[in-house]
A and B are shown apart, each in its own frame.
Chain A
Amino acid sequence: MENVFIEAATNIESPSIQKWKEKGGKIVGYTCSFMPVELFYAADILPIRLRGINAHSMEISDSYYGPFVCSFPKAVIQLAGSGKYHFLDGVVISNGCDTLRRMNDCWRKMGADIKGSLPSWFYYFDVPHKPDGHAFDWYVNQIKKLIAAIEKQFHVHISENKLKKAINAQNAVRKSLWEIEKLRRQSPLTITGTEAYAAIIAGTMMPVDEYLRHLNTFLNNIRNRKQDSADDKKKLFLGGSICDDFELVSLIESSDAVVVGENICFGIRNEKDMVSETDDPLQALTAKYLSASVCPRMMGWYKERADMMIKRIKNLNADGVIMQNIRFCDLHGTENGLLERDFEKNNIPSLRIEREYGPLTETGRLKMRFDAFIEQLKTAGINK
């Protein structure tokens, strides 16, 4: 596995981030995959996805959030309150769900309580829950407002040319990620899910040029591999709530299985999941980030999401699906119930699990369920 990806995927302040800061670079954190990161790259700012890894307690976040909310935003607040995000020059919150939206209130309040915990620039980016018509126009305007806010705060100019360059660079990343997805379909297997997922997460924590360089090296290495012993393992697809910790994938793979694909708010879903480089950049970004959404926050588009997932699962030749949701993540928790029904109709075995975000305190319980599911798949294979 590439050490550079492991470092980026397991550390809030990875060496890449430290180097960027040492050179005087600005860094902005964001909370949700609906954020068009190209805007920041066009302003020479490093955008990083806010994560809650390595939060070992919740004593700060419990002062702001109540007990009945998802542990992911609580973990982010905990880290921010304990100074782990000291290197941020700004934060953009968006309304991924009720709890993430309310992070805006909680973090501001914490900023008043804990000196230095609120970055000097704290911005709210409003994402509609529909992909078209007036919602599309709203998102375009939100991008315009965000550009103006970045320019004002950081004294930069985001030109169309720079935006197009940033789009081009991100598309290059997406193409490489899609190459990885294709390699994950191959038999015999040459890559584990853990390796692939660590690489995918790392992309949200590293400068794009550096990331792309490592990603292409990684791709070449995989292509030159002969065969992985994982070939007789059960191939699984992973979906559900945010998971920015590849340890969950590792845990699944420790149970005689390999994760061949994910439908989580990281990475890429299909080869068309690109930003158009010929259309107007703002329209093109909106078409990609809003209209191509696969998140259950877009209520009313379940059938499209289910169809897309079923198609992907079949293309990946997955033997089964593990659907996970963080406790109190109702959006995924509920959608997983619908998916379970529809997977069954399509003869796709699935396992639903609910978990806590953060350190794998539930490792034993989860592993037991993964083992049982994989055993079922194997038995079903023998009986076929």
Chain B
Amino acid sequence: MPPQSQSSSTSPARFQGQSQGGSEPPAEDDEPRLQLLKPDPGGYDEMLLPDGTARPHYSAYQDWLRSKSADWMERQRAQVDLIFRRTGITFSVYGDETGTERLIPSDVVPRVIDAEEWGRLELGLIQRVKAINRFLSDIYHKQDILRAGLIPADQILVNQQYQVAMVGVKVPHQTYAHIVGVDLVRHKDGDFYVLEDNLRVPSGVSYMLSNRKMMMRLFPDLFQKHAVRPVEHYPGMLLDTLISASSQDRPTVVLLTPGPYNSAYFEHAFLAQQMGVELVEGRDLFVEDGFVYMRTTSGRQRVDVIYRRIDDVFLDPLAFRPDSVLGVPGLLAAYRLGNVVISNAIGTGVADDKSIYPYVPDMIRFYLGEEPLLKNVPTWQCRKPQDLAYVLAHLPELVVKEVHGAGGYGMLVGPTSSSEEVARFREVLTARPEGYIAQPTLSLSTCPTFVEEGVAPRHLDLRPFVLTGREIRIVPGGLTRVALRKGSLVVNSSQGGGTKDTWVVDH
């Protein structure tokens, strides 16, 4: 006999709007349909052509979207918040004593990439990351590229991201950057450009995974209609990558986090849990006789691979910043002996420095003898007098970035800035030109996004995660970040950005 329960008062109406197997629920017919706003005529929209019809890989989705009401979509959006809070994929705010974590808004409209186009992107990404790893190995050993005169030696050797401690150190398989998050944007010319290569501790992959999980829960019928390539195997691929980075047979892998007060802590905890490895803090580890151990309730346990989510300078107080309490004293020494693998390697930051970025196409030609498949954004290096002169003359139309900046801080977006802000940057640039680069303001592509005014175009970028183990692998798609404010070009979560599920579809 089934357990007794209160008689259900749930009326069938409660389930209205949840389409099943593609047949549309009749009750929706009375509700007003979603408004699909037209994209900006001068720009590139991921879904819509200038006449408002959908691009081929988006047409099935557009049909589906047109059958939905605004109210129904709003209910789905509210579900997203709830699911995200439950899963605990949140973003903690520094200095908030209540411990309430902020959600990064996740949009219900996916960003869809055609499989053929993805195939081209994938080749370009693999080529780029391969060259970057060759470059890192080169500058810490033979320095061929400096001798060839392709990059001014001082730009590498006195770069604050260049780690002298890494010179001559052998890293397994000459792989420095195991995990790279490449930021791509699409310009109005329809081409993708690389905005930056994140080689230190790229984050955001947990949003990619949660967005997919959430979309599959909310819109199972969409996944029946589309052949969306899966991303759920990312944690497994990451673990494979980390394991293959070690020369041990069955290495013990750990994820090193700065701790619960770090804004990305939930991603750290999430990935550790998904990979089934220990989530450790610096104080859990110690070095003895050149080996790294963790303290466990069953005694010490040797650690072979450290997937660190801590910047270089905090890793070892004996070698870098002596006031760091996040790191492990003696870690660098153990690393140099080859007794532990650190991923990404120490000193990778020199290759994603914005002053080195302009040289990546040259690296590809130099190391691989190939033409770059992905475009770089034209970049003026303010350290060069003629570049600086151009930049100062064209400030209101340029984007100016700090060479070591990140997270959308310390930058000037000329066209959307006030004349005071432009004037202030002019002073800063004149005083310290070597600290800045400038680029033309790209008109990032847009994608329809569910916002208050309806489904409206918003600017976005794309961060695929490139893993280098025995081979280079990328889960299809990556993280799409979207600027939720109308017209804004800044997609960073710290600046009011959201995310979208990213689909690579075969059709």
Real binding pair: no
The chain A residues found within 8 Å of chain B, CB to CB, are: none
The chain B residues found within 8 Å of chain A, CB to CB, are: none
